[in-house]
Structure 1
C-alpha cells in the first residue's frame, strides 16, 4: 500500500511540476570551469592557484528549510577542483525533496537519520545512518525522511562535472518534457544505459556490509569502488580511522581527494609534487611539506599529484570519510606509492 500511495503522489506531483525545467537562477550556475592559459604549460597557473588556496575549510551545514549545502563545486569562488561535486543534503522531519533526475550518478553517505528511504524509478530502498547509497545514472529519485522529530543529513559525492563535460546534460524535475514535443515520437524505453545485470547490484550498502581492514594507509573501510557491492561507477570512497596518537601512512597518488572529518582533530602534511620533463617524466618532490590542521566538521582537499600523511592529535579515534573520482583509475592512474606505512600496519 505504501508503494501505491507513493506512486499516486508521484503522478500528482508530475502534473504540478510540468515545465518546471524552465526555471532560472538569479546567478548563472557554473557546471564546468574553463581550463585556459596563454602558455602551453599549465604548471604556472596550477602553482599560483595552489599557493593561495586553503586546503582545509569548514563548509556550512545549517538548520533551516534549505536542502542543499555546498561543500565543493566548480562554481566556488575559491575554486579547488571539479573532479567531484560534493555537498550535504538535508531532509526535514516527515519530509522529502522534489522528485528529479540527472544523468550523472551520485553516492551519498548517511551521516544522520534512521528509517529513511529512497524512491528510485518507482522502487523503494531503505537506509539508516552509516549506510552508503547509490543513485544510478539516469535515475528519477527523491529522498524521504519519515522520522517525525529528527532531520536526516547525507554527504553526497558525485562525478557530475565530468558527466556534464561529456555532454550528459539531461536533468530536471519530474514533469520535464522536450520543447516542441509534437516533433517527437511518443515516449519509449530509455535503452542507452543500464547494462544487463546492473539492476542486480545493491543500491544500499549497510554499515556492516564491508569490514574495516588494516592497509598501508591505516584502518579503512571501502564504501564505493572496484569490488564493493554498491552500484557506483564513478566514485571511490572509504572511511578512515586513525587511533589516538597515531598517524596514517605516507601516500602518493595522482587523483585529488576530498575528506570530511566526522570525528576528531589533527593535521595533514602535504608534499607537493612538480614534474620535470626530459627523456621521460621525472617527479620533483617538495623538500618541506605544508601543514594543514583540521577538526570535526572540516573538509580536507588534497590536490592532484600530492603526497599526504595524516596525524591524529585529539583524544580518541579520528574518523574521516574520503572520496575521489574513479575515472583516474580507468585512465591509468591507479598506482599508489607508500613512502611509509601506518604504524599499525607494520606492527601487524
Structure 2
C-alpha cells in the first residue's frame, strides 16, 4: 500500500474513540420538525419535496422521506414516466395521500386509492398513473441514504438513460431485479462444505430475485388492523415478519384516540414520523412540538418520544423506521417507558 504522506495513526484512533460522544452531539443538533404548511407551499410549484434527508442537515443516516405530486394523465404539464418508470437498489414504501390510479410494478398492475400503500421490491421498474382529474399525492420513505453510504445506490430512470448502469446491457439486464445478476444458479457443490457454501453464494442472486418477485406489494388502507400494544393502537403495514421481502424498512401506523397518549419509548434506529390526521403534541427528549396533519418529525436515534392527542379527532401517525436493518446488524435496543392509555 502506498501513502501520500505520514499516517496520523494517533489522530485516526482518537477519532474512533470519541465518535460515540460526537455522535450524541450531532443527534442533539439535528433538525426534528418539518412544517406541513411549508411542504404544501413548496409542492405547489414542485413535483416533489424532500422533507427529511441527510443531505439537508438531518442526522438520519439510513432512510429519507419525501412527497411527490402526480398530475392528471391528460394534463399538458404531465411529465410522468411513460413506459418503464424508474428502479433503484433501495427499498421504498409509498403511501397515497390523495388521488386514484394504478402503479405498474415489475410488469404487474396494482390499482390504488388514497390511503393505500405500495411496497416496491428492490430494483423493480415501477411507474404511477393518475386516473383522476386532480393531482395524486404520495409520501414515500426509501433507504437511499443507507445504500448511498455503502456505495450501493443505483437509480435508473427512463428519462435519463445516459445514467443507466445495467439497463443498457441487454434485455436480461433490463428485466432483472438483481443488478448484474445471473440467470441461473450454476456453481456446483463439489461435495465439500466450502464448495457448498460458495455455491450458495453464487446462487444467492438467482434465489433473491425470486424472493423479491414473490413478495407482497399492495396494502389496502381500509384493511389495516389496529391492535393494542404498550405504545398504543398500532397497525403493522410493511414488515419482514408479515410477508414482505424487505431487509431494512418497517412501516406502521399508530392511532391515538382523542384525549389519550401513546406510549413513550426510545430505540437505536432512525425513525421518521408523518402526521396523517388530527392534532396533538409530540415530546422528543426535552423538546415539545405542536403537530397537525401534514407535519413531519425526524426522531433522533435513542431519543425518548411520545405523542398526545389534544385535538377533536383521532391522531394518526405514519412511522417509518429502519429497525430491520439494525436487527440484521445486531444493534437493536428498545427501552419502553410510560405505556399508552389507549
TM-score by length of 2: 0.75
Contact 1:134–1:231 (8 Å) recurs in 2: no
**Cα distance change, pair 235–96 in 1 and its aligned pair in 2 (3 A):** farther
Residue in structure 2 matched with residue 284 of structure 1 by the alignment: none
| CA distance in structure 2 between the partners assigned to 1:53 and 1:186 by the alignment | 44
Residue 207 of structure 1: how far off its partner (Å): 1.5
What are the residue-to-residue correspondences of 1:153-164 with 2, within 5 Å? Answer: 153-164=137-148
**Cα distance change, pair 179–43 in 1 and its aligned pair in 2 (3 A):** closer
Q: 1:296 aligns with which of 293, 299, 316?
A: 293
Q: Which runs of 5+ in 1 are unaligned?
A: 1-35, 272-288
Q: Following TM superposition, where does structure 1 have runs of at least 4 consecutive aligned residues deviating by more than 6 angstroms? A: 177-181
Q: Which runs of 5+ in 2 are unaligned?
A: 1-12, 182-204
Residue in structure 2 matched with residue 69 of structure 1 by the alignment: 49
Contact 1:96–1:144 (8 Å) recurs in 2: no
Deviations 1:223-248 (A, max 9, x none): 11132344543211111111111111
What are the residue-to-residue correspondences of 1:41-120 with 2, within 5 Å? Answer: 41-59=18-36, 60-61=39-40, 62-64=42-44, 66-76=46-56, 78-94=57-73, 95=78, 97-98=80-81, 99-114=85-100, 116-120=101-105
Residue 96 of structure 1: how far off its partner (Å): 6.4
Q: 2:113 aligns with which of 105, 113, 128?
A: 128
CA RMSD of aligned residues (A): 2.7
Residue in structure 2 matched with residue 238 of structure 1 by the alignment: 252
Residue 249 of structure 1: how far off its partner (Å): 0.9
Structure 2 residue 282 is matched with structure 1 residue 263: no
Contact 1:96–1:143 (8 Å) recurs in 2: no
Q: Which has the higher strand share?
A: 1
Structure 2 residue 310 is matched with structure 1 residue 313: yes
Contact 2:115–2:221 (8 Å) recurs in 1: yes
| CA distance in structure 1 between the partners assigned to 2:283 and 2:44 by the alignment | 36
| CA distance in structure 2 between the partners assigned to 1:173 and 1:166 by the alignment | 21
Contact 2:211–2:245 (8 Å) recurs in 1: no
Residue 48 of structure 1: how far off its partner (Å): 3.6
Deviations 1:53-82 (A, max 9, x none): 442221513454632111111210x32312
Deviations 1:274-333 (A, max 9, x none): xxxxxxxxxxxxxxx332332222111211012222111122211111111130121223
| CA distance in structure 2 between the partners assigned to 1:216 and 1:206 by the alignment | 25
Report how many residues are paired.
287
**Cα distance change, pair 336–123 in 1 and its aligned pair in 2 (3 A):** same
Residue in structure 2 matched with residue 170 of structure 1 by the alignment: 154
**Cα distance change, pair 187–200 in 1 and its aligned pair in 2 (3 A):** closer
TM-score by length of 1: 0.74
What are the residue-to-residue correspondences of 1:4-43 with 2, within 5 Å? Answer: 38=15, 40-43=17-20
Structure 2 residue 131 is matched with structure 1 residue 146: yes
Indicate the SS of the match to 2:60: coil
